[in-house]
């Protein structure tokens, strides 16, 4: 009897101590959190009355209700729900996707990071730690006013989405303008405007980033654009422009840049409001870092007079050597990809893959993921194995890098950090050799 009583007392004492700890964890949810980064993007405020406010890039806003238990938190707004695992690093909140979480493009809550099944967690800084890092505090009312008041500098048309061209153009297609809608100007606003329409005559043409022809950008005189990335899946859209700023408006994403016209093309630098969605084609358009990128205009036949023909000495006529355009080479053995390769899906994340001559490999990323294992081949398929996790890709060598493409059977279980190795949701990732 004494033993039973003693056990009951110990159990009661344990429950008494454990309950406040659990409540304390829940209490820490009721705070304002900022997505970790170098500027304000997503801001989430959760309250004790189980309500929340979420502010996104460009001042977009939604509100709803919060439900939480010891390990999980659910955010509901309208008919949309997001399901997360949560934990704390000191006062900072770490969110991870649950199995039943559903992301919805075009909805602020639906695009709240994390949006990748294989991300271990996404860190949100508490307001106090955000302030300690010297970041500016977010002011919801001012942001809402900026989002709703009309711009005095830019005509903001109601942009219609151009019809994409059928098929998948090549990243080095001879006529990338085929991906661009012909004579489809941005739709005009329902509200009459006294501002003149912005002309794009001085920018119309085909451009390549820093002169490299692995991707291209076509701009039409009526304010439309088409971007063809390395992977070759074209993205069409419309343009908004002032003298020194330009915005690319795609079906699901906007990019915002400072613009500087050059004799050979133009220079783009990301503006503070530019937020990258790596899963979107437009999100992969350079620049992705903070350095400027020069888009150089392709020369057209009429740009310069043809040089006068001169008779070439007979002894030199057979010395011409044209540089061949090398097609991507499939990877079929380990020796072809021995070395260190780095992939940067966005400015805040770097993934490093090191492959040894014996087929051993290590993988890590800048968020702390770390895995090691063995690389083998099944025909043209590269099989990375680390413990119980198996990843399957096809590989292609092009220049100094290797492009990995997910096989249809690449369905890793989330048991170690190899499952987070790119490509995941994007299906393709290009690792550059160091």
344 and 404: one domain? yes
259 and 354: one domain? no
389 and 281: one domain? no
Number of domains in the chain: 3
Q: What is the C-alpha separation between 222 and 184, in angstroms, rounded? A: 7
43, 55 Cβ separation under 8 angstroms: yes
Judged by DSSP in three states, 415 sits in coil
Answer whether residue 53 is part of any domain. yes
DSSP for 312-329, written as a single string: PPGGGGGG--PPP-PPPE
Q: What is the pLDDT of residue 200?
A: 84
38 and 120: one domain? yes
Count of CA atoms in the C-beta half-sphere (13 A) of 134? 1
CATH of the domain at 212: 2.40.128
Answer whether residue 399 is part of any domain. yes
Q: What is the pLDDT of residue 376?
A: 93
Secondary structure, 3-state, 63-95: EEEEEECCCEEEEEECCEEEEEEEEEECCEEEE
288 and 377: one domain? no
Closest CA to 116 of 431, 416, 414, 430: 414
- Tokens describing residue 72: 């999980």
CATH of the domain at 388: 2.40.128.50
219 and 349: one domain? no
Q: What is the C-alpha separation between 117 and 151, in angstroms, rounded? A: 38
Q: Give the residue ranges of the chain where pLDDT is below 70.
A: 1-25, 116-120, 141-198, 232, 300-327, 347, 414
Answer whether residue 100 is part of any domain. yes
Answer whether residue 324 is part of any domain. no
Cα–chain center distance at 28: 30
Closest CA to 421 of 381, 392, 378: 392
Closest CA to 404 of 377, 372, 431: 431
Q: Put residue 234 in one of left, alpha, beta given phi > 0 → left and psi -120 to 50 → alpha.
A: beta
Domain extent, residue 241, equals 176-186+198-297
Answer whether residue 40 is part of any domain. yes
pTM of the predicted structure, to 2 decimals = 0.34
Q: Mind listing the pLDDT tens digit for each residue in 136-185?
A: 888 875 443 443 333 333 232 323 334 444 343 333 333 344 444 443 33
Q: Between β-strands 43-46 and 32-35, what pairing exists: parallel, antiparallel or unpaired?
A: antiparallel
280 and 362: one domain? no
DSSP for 131-197, written as a single string: HHTTPPPP-HHHHHHHHHSPPSSS----PPPPPPPSS---TT-S-GGGGSPTT-PPPPPSS---SPP
Residue for token digits 């390395």?
230
CA distance from start to end of the chain: 71
Q: Mind listing the pLDDT tens digit for each residue in 381-392?
A: 999 999 888 999
131 and 180: one domain? no
356 and 273: one domain? no
408, 387 Cβ separation under 8 angstroms: no
Q: What is the pLDDT of residue 172?
A: 37
Q: What is the pLDDT of residue 166?
A: 39
Closest CA to 279 of 116, 40, 102: 116
Q: What is the pLDDT of residue 180?
A: 40
Q: What is the C-alpha separation between 274 and 269, in angstroms, rounded? A: 10
Q: What is the pLDDT of residue 23?
A: 53
């Amino acid at each position: 009897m004494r033993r039973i009583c003693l056990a009951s007392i110990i159990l009661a004492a344990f429950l008494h101590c454990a309950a406040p700890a659990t409540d304390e964890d829940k209490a820490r949810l009721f705070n304002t959190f900022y997505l970790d980064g170098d500027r304000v993007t997503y801001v989430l405020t959760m309250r004790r009355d189980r309500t929340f406010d979420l502010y996104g890039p460009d001042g977009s806003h939604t509100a709803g209700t919060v439900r939480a238990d010891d390990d999980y938190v659910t955010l509901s707004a309208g008919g949309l729900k997001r399901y997360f695992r949560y934990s704390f690093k000191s006062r900072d909140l770490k969110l991870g996707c649950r199995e039943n979480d559903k992301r919805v493009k075009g909805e602020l809550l639906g695009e709240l990071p994390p949006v990748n099944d294989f991300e271990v967690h996404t860190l949100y800084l508490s307001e106090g730690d955000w302030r300690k890092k010297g970041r500016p505090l977010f002011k919801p009312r001012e942001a809402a006013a900026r989002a709703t008041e009309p711009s005095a500098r830019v005509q903001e048309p109601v942009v219609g989405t151009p019809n994409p061209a059928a098929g998948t153009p090549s990243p080095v297609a001879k006529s990338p303008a085929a991906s661009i809608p012909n004579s489809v100007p941005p739709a005009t606003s329902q509200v009459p405007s006294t501002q003149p329409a912005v002309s794009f005559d001085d920018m119309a043409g085909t451009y390549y980033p820093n002169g490299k022809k692995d991707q291209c950008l076509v701009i039409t005189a009526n304010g439309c654009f088409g971007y063809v990335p390395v992977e070759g899946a074209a993205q069409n859209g419309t343009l908004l422009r002032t003298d020194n700023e330009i915005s690319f408006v795609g079906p699901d994403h906007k990019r915002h840049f400072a613009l500087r016209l050059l004799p050979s093309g133009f220079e783009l630098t990301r503006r503070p409001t530019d937020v990258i969605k790596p899963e979107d084609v437009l999100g992969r358009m350079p620049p992705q870092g903070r350095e400027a990128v020069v888009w150089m205009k392709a020369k057209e036949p009429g740009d310069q007079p043809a040089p006068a023909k001169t008779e070439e000495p007979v002894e030199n006529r057979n010395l011409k050597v044209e540089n061949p355009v090398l097609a991507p080479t499939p990877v079929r053995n380990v020796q072809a990809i021995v070395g260190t390769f780095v992939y940067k899906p966005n400015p805040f994340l770097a993934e490093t893959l090191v492959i040894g001559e014996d087929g051993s490999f290590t993988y890590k990323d800048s968020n702390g993921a770390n895995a090691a294992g063995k690389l083998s081949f099944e025909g043209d398929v590269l099989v990375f194995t680390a413990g119980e996790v198996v990843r399957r890709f096809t590989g292609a060598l092009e220049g100094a890098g290797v492009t990995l493409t997910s096989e249809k059977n690449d369905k890793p279980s989330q048991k170690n950090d190899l499952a987070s190795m790119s490509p995941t949701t994007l299906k393709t990732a290009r690792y550059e050799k160091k």
